Structure 1
Amino acid sequence: MGMVVGMTPLSSLRLPDGFTDVFTSRLVEVDGLRLHAVTGGDGPPLLLISGWPQTWYAWREMMPALAREHTVVAVDSRGAGLSDKPDGGYDAGTLAADLVALMSALGHDRFDVVGHDIGMWTGYALAADHPERVGRLAVVDAIIPGLTPAPPFFSPAPVTQRFWHFAFNRLPDLNEELVRGRERLFFGYQFATKAATPTTIPEHAVDVYVDAIVADPRGLRASFSYYRALDDTIAQNEQRRKTRLTLPVLAIGGARYSGAMVAETMRLAADDVTEVVIDDCGHYAAEEQPARFTEALEDFLATKPAAVVLNG
């Protein structure tokens, strides 16, 4: 069983006014793994899962508004931020099991989930593998390996520019050799090219993400581990897709990045998909358009489920 084992300071980070009055940073031990989460607010529990190469900090602009209606849990998954970075366990099924254990340790039996980027892979695994735990699922600006059809090997240049990092990140060790010492160049490029403009994600935020990876000697390897585990994740998703999701799904895309592809992906797996495409937004909706993302998410979470009609 999990237990809260300590607190960590938020004071070193640039955060919205009043943030630390509402939110607490904590380390929670689950099955021998320490996970870091920032929690606060009141109401039904809402789990926020960030993407690569980010941490819980990606949600900072949305969290104060969400905390008015929800108990918010923004997590660093295994391998990210202040969470432990073991050698293995980076497939979506294990990452999802980690977060089920985390939510149990925090006292949340049933919860809603928002997953961005690789957090969308984990969100799908949570809903598919633990349907009794997840009420609603929102996914943001990604596709799902093993569910989304793979692009052809020789794709047009814009497609290659979007997906080249999948192959690079899966290399067994050359990527660490090339990136170590140049982390700001490599990771900074992700934010500069995937957001609506090269400066949409502010320098100070990029620094938070890069520093989190550089500060831990296991950080760089762990950041590639989600991609190195893709053979396992893909095999899992080929099984998961055999059972369609029945829970409500919100699929959000940035008009200047994944757009409608997010909903197209989720319709391959789920029956009840609401599509939202946010204008003037690239890959990082929680930071690029936090107010509009929050509004779409709140609308989705507040919708009453359709009445069940029983055939007499």
Structure 2
Amino acid sequence: MPDIRVGDIRLHYEEWGSGPPLLLLHGFPFSLAIWSEVASRIGDAARVVAPDLRGHGRSDKPGGPYTMEVLAQDVLGLADALGLESFVLGGHSMGGYVAFRVAAHVPERLRGLVLVATRAEADTEEAKARRRAAVERIQREGKAGFVDEFLTGLVSDRTRTDRPQVLEQARAVAEAVPEHVLVACLQGMRERPDSRELLTRLHVPALVLVGGADRVIPPEAARAMAEALPRARLVTVPDAGHLPMLEAPEATAASLRAFLEGLRA
């Protein structure tokens, strides 16, 4: 369970397996823990490195800003500190937004790209208004009500019925994130740039993975990313919602492992 100094903060990260490096970035408001079931199934297909992004998990939790650019610079600092000259980069949800910024800075270092339950478009005005309302609610009432409502639509109905422990696991991780980090990340996501044009310039193999019952990322958003990326494959995980790595870890890991093994062929 190592920590490393990156710029002005201490980042916590964990590693699994052996092979070419794979950097996995978690989404909002979670931690590297969401990747553990998948990462442990990768085996020798990759050396998986998953950090707790600043403000999350066991990493430092300074004041803002928490823009996608700030988070991306942390990730680049981690890669440099670990000597990862080239790597496959994966991101879930907000982690995907961070991955886009990393890719924009160092496309030459990417061996591949894995985009899980994320989208390339910037927030619409309606989405920005929802995030603004969420910020105001947290500042007014605290985080409990926001976290409850946020988690409600995150998993599929099947997961909620058959694997209720998944939602409880997600809740435990989300509730540990401080209010100032929730607010700063919501503001950072609201102001993130549009990355659709960037995708057309990323000529590396890519895996776009989405849950078949994801209420947050519509299938057409995932399909649009796969079509924009020159060398992408789209995989839909049946009966999974916005957290396929927790809801269907076996299927998610199998798709990821097949993608990684294809890079070696």
TM-score bracket for the superposition, by shorter chain length: 0.7 to 0.9
Q: TM-score, normalised by structure 1?
A: 0.74
Q: Percent identity?
A: 26
Range with greater deviation from structure 2 (197-206 or 291-300): 197-206
Residues 119 and 225 of structure 2 are in contact (CA less than 8 Å); yes or no, is this contact kept in structure 1?
A: yes
Q: TM-score, normalised by structure 2?
A: 0.86
Return the letter of the residue paired with 2:253.
T
Residues 226 and 234 of structure 2 are in contact (CA less than 8 Å); yes or no, is this contact kept in structure 1?
A: no
Shift in Å at residue 231 of structure 1? 5.7
Q: Where does residue 176 of structure 2 map in the other structure? A: 212
The answer to whether structure 1 residue 284 and structure 2 residue 243 are counterparts is yes
Return the letter of the residue paired with 1:276.
V
Deviations 1:70-123 (A, max 9, x none): 211111112222222233342222212211110221222111111101111111
The answer to whether structure 1 residue 248 and structure 2 residue 205 are counterparts is yes
Return the letter of the residue paired with 1:176.
I
Return the letter of the residue paired with 1:177.
Q
Q: d(CA) in 2 for partners of 1:77 and 1:119?
A: 9
1:169 to 131, 141, 152: 131
Distance 1:66 1:275, change over 3 A: same
The gaps in structure 2 that reach 5 residues or longer are none
Deviations 1:203-237 (A, max 9, x none): 54134313422xxxxx21212322212464226x4
The answer to whether structure 1 residue 39 and structure 2 residue 15 are counterparts is yes
Q: Where does residue 93 of structure 1 map in the other structure? A: 69
Larger radius of gyration: 1
Q: Where does residue 108 of structure 1 map in the other structure? A: 84
The answer to whether structure 1 residue 50 and structure 2 residue 26 are counterparts is yes
Q: d(CA) in 2 for partners of 1:67 and 1:212?
A: 29
Q: d(CA) in 1 for partners of 2:201 and 2:65?
A: 25
Runs of 4+ with >4 A deviation = none
Residues 135 and 183 of structure 2 are in contact (CA less than 8 Å); yes or no, is this contact kept in structure 1?
A: no
Shift in Å at residue 300 of structure 1? 1.2
Compute the RMSD of aligned alpha carbons: 2.6
1:261 to 221, 228, 249: 221
Q: How many residues align?
A: 258
Q: Which has the higher helix share?
A: 2
Q: Where does residue 188 of structure 1 map in the other structure? A: 148
Residues 85 and 109 of structure 2 are in contact (CA less than 8 Å); yes or no, is this contact kept in structure 1?
A: yes
Paired residue secondary structure (1:28): strand
The answer to whether structure 1 residue 300 and structure 2 residue 262 are counterparts is no
Shift in Å at residue 242 of structure 1? 8.6
The answer to whether structure 1 residue 130 and structure 2 residue 106 are counterparts is yes
Distance 1:234 1:266, change over 3 A: farther
Deviations 1:147-173 (A, max 9, x none): x8x4x85xxxxxxxxx6xx53433595
Q: Where does residue 186 of structure 2 map in the other structure? A: 227
Shift in Å at residue 179 of structure 1? 4.4
The gaps in structure 1 that reach 5 residues or longer are 1-24, 154-162, 214-218, 307-312
